[in-house]
A and B are shown apart, each in its own frame.
Chain A
Amino acid sequence: MNRVYHLVSTPGPMTTTWDLTPGDHRDHFLARIGVRRDQHRVPPGLYRLGSPDKESPVFVSANYTLSFDALRSSLKGINCYLLVLDTHGVNVWCAAGKRTFGTRELLRRIEAVKLGEVVSHRRLILPQLGASGVAAHEVKKYSNFTVEYGPVRAADLPEYLKNHTATPEMRQVRFNLRDRLVLTPVDVTQTLLPMLVAMGLGFLLGGVPYLLAALVLFLSGTVLFPALLPWLPTKDFSSKGGFLGLVAALPFVLSVALGHADWSWYRQLGQSLGYLLTMSAGVAYISLNFTGSSTFTSVVGVRKEIYTYIRPMAVMGFLGLISLIVFAFVK
C-alpha cells in the first residue's frame, strides 16, 4: 500500500481529500480480488476533509480503505471531519458485528483525538450499519456526543444532509446484482487452489470432461450462484445451490448419454449419477458458504440450514466421487 497521509504520528488531525487517486482505485481493485485482504487500511484517528471549522459535521467510519474512500468521495464539497475507528481493516457492518466498530472504540477514539476541543457542537453522524456495534444512548451517556445514524450507503449522504432525515429507501440494505457480483472475485481467488487441484486430479482420472466438470462446479458456486441468487428456486442457499449444481451437470450427462453410445449402460449411468451427485453437492456447499456474504440471512437460519443439509451433502458428494472414480475405469 502506497498511500501517503500527512501528520500520521502527530496528535493533530490528519488531512485527506474528496478526490480518489489512481492509487486508491488500484487499492480498491486489489481489495476486491482479495489480495492481502486485511491490509487495506488507513490509520485510525481524526481527518480534516476540505477546510472544516468548529461547527463542521463529524462523520464516523472504519479504517478499511473501501469504507473510508466511499465516505470521503461521497462528501464532495462538504467541509467536515472524519473520525476513523480502528476496525482492523474491516468494513463498518462486519466490524460492527464483531464490536470492533463499537461503543467502546468510539468513546476511546473521541477521547484520543480530543474531539470535544476540535468541534464546538456535540453531534456525530454514523453509518446506519454501524448500529449493530454502537449503542447511541451509551455514547451520549459517557461522552455527551449525540449519535445520529445516517443512511446505509455513503452515496446517499448529500441527499440525507439536506434535512438530516433518511427516506425508507436509504435505510434499507440492498443486495442487487451489482452488490453480489462485486463479491465474486474474492470467492474465486479464495477457491482457486482447491479448484486447480480438483481440475488436475479430474484430468488425470477422466480426461478433459472431468477437468471441465471441476471447473464448472467451482465457477457455478462462486460466480453463477451469486449472480442468479434471487431467481434460483426455494429459499435456502443449499437447496438453491443444489438445484444449480444439477443444472450445471446436465451438459455432462447429455454428453455421456449422446456422445458415448459405444459405452456400456452401467458406465453411462455411473458417470451420469457421478456428475449429478458431485456437482449438486459441491455447488450446494459453496452456496451455503455464501450466506455469510449475503445481507439478509440470520444466524438461527444459517445454523438450521447447516444442520439440515451438511450431512446429505457429504453423502451425495462422497457417492458421486466414488461413482466418477469407479466408472472412469470400469468399462
Chain B
Amino acid sequence: MFNSYTENTLVLDVEKCVGCAMCTMVCPHAVFAMDGRKAKIVNYSACMECGACQLNCPARAISVTSGVGCAAAMINAALTGRKEVSCGGPSCGCGDETPKSGCCG
C-alpha cells in the first residue's frame, strides 16, 4: 500500500558481464557492487531508472527503460482514460529544444 516504487525495469545479464565495474561507478544510488569479476545488483529497489549503467555498459549486459517521462502527459492520460501521448501537447512544457518549465530543479 502507498508504495509505487517496489518494481522497476532494471535487468542485469551476469553472463554477458565483462567485469569492468563501470556500472558501480556511474550509478548514483549504489545499486551495483562487484562480486569477484562480475557485477551484481545489491540494491534493486533504489534504482531510479536513470539509464547511466545501461548506456555505459560496454558489454550490453544491463537493460533498463530510462527516460525523463512527461508528467503532464501521464496526468492527462490517467484523468481522461485515453492513451498516453508523449511530449509536445499544449499542456506540456518539456521535450522541446529549450525546456522552459516543469521538469528538473
Please give the residue numbers on chain A whose beta carbons come within 8 Å of chain B beta carbons, in ascending order. 37-38, 88-91, 93-94, 96-98, 128-129, 131-137, 149, 152, 166, 168, 171-173, 183, 186, 190, 234-236, 239, 288-289, 291-293, 295-308, 310-311, 314
CB-defined A-B contacts under 8 Å, sample of 23: A38-B99, A38-B100, A88-B98, A88-B99, A91-B104, A98-B68, A129-B52, A131-B26, A131-B56, A136-B22, A171-B24, A289-B71, A292-B71, A292-B104, A297-B5, A299-B65, A301-B8, A302-B4, A306-B74, A310-B75, A310-B78, A310-B79, A311-B79
Interfacial chain A residues near B102, Cβ < 8 Å: 292
State whether A128 and B28 are in contact (beta carbons under 8 Å apart), knowing that A137-B58, A298-B8 are contacts in the complex.
yes
Kindly supply a per-residue 1/0 record for chain B positions 30-51, scoring 1 wherever the CB is within 8 Å of any chain A CB and 0 otherwise.
Answer: 1000000000000000111111
Chain A nearest Cβ from B64, distance in angstroms: 9
Shortest C-beta distance, A106 to chain B (Å), equals 12
Q: Is B85 an interface residue (CB 8 A)?
A: no
Closest chain A residue to B28, Cβ basis: A173
Contact, CB under 8 Å: A149 / B104: no
The contact of A131 among B52, B71, B104, by CB within 8 Å, is: B52
A172 with B28, Cβ < 8 A, contacts A299-B68, A303-B74 known: yes
Query: CB of B16 within 8 A of chain A?
Result: no
Complex interface: chain A residues within 8 A of B47 (CB): 298
Q: State whether B98 touches A38 (Cβ < 8 A).
A: yes
Q: Which residues of A contact B99 (CB under 8 A)?
A: 38, 88, 90, 94, 98
Query: A235 and B30 in contact (CB under 8 A), knowing A37-B101, A136-B56, A306-B75?
Result: no
Known: A97-B50, A293-B104, A300-B49. A171 touches B4 (CB 8 A): no
Please pick, from B4, B22, B71, the residue contacting A304 in the complex, using a CB distance under 8 A. B4
Closest CB-CB distance, B57 to chain A, in whole Å? 9
Q: Which residue of A lies closest to B59 (CB)?
A: A137
Question: Complex Cα distance A15/B13, Å?
Answer: 46
- Top 10 closest pairs, chain A to chain B, by CB: A94-B104, A131-B26, A234-B2, A131-B52, A235-B3, A304-B4, A301-B5, A173-B28, A299-B69, A132-B52
Contact residue among A136, A149, A298 (Cβ-Cβ distance under 8 Å from B48)? A298
Does residue B7 face the partner (Cβ distance < 8 Å to A)? yes
Interface residues of B, count at CB 8 A: 45
B11 at the interface (CB under 8 A from A): no
The answer to whether the Cβ of B86 comes within 8 Å of any Cβ in the partner chain is no
Chain B residue with the shortest CB-CB distance to A303: B74
**Chain B nearest Cβ from A171, distance in angstroms:** 7
Determine if B9 and A137 form an interchain contact, defined as CB atoms under 8 angstroms apart: no
Q: Are A152 and B50 in touch, CB under 8 angstroms? A: no
Taking A96-B52, A97-B66 as known contacts, 15 extra A-B pairs with beta carbons closer than 8 A to each other, sorted by chain A number, are A98-B99, A128-B25, A136-B22, A149-B26, A172-B28, A172-B29, A234-B1, A234-B2, A236-B2, A288-B71, A289-B71, A295-B48, A298-B5, A300-B9, A311-B79
Quick check: B30 and A314 within 8 Å, CB to CB?
Answer: no
A90 to B97, CA, bound (A): 11
Q: Known contacts being A132-B50, A190-B101, is A301 close to B4, with CB within 8 Å?
A: yes
Question: What is the chain A residue whose CB lies nearest that of B96?
Answer: A88
Distance, CA A235 to CA B9, complexed state (A): 19
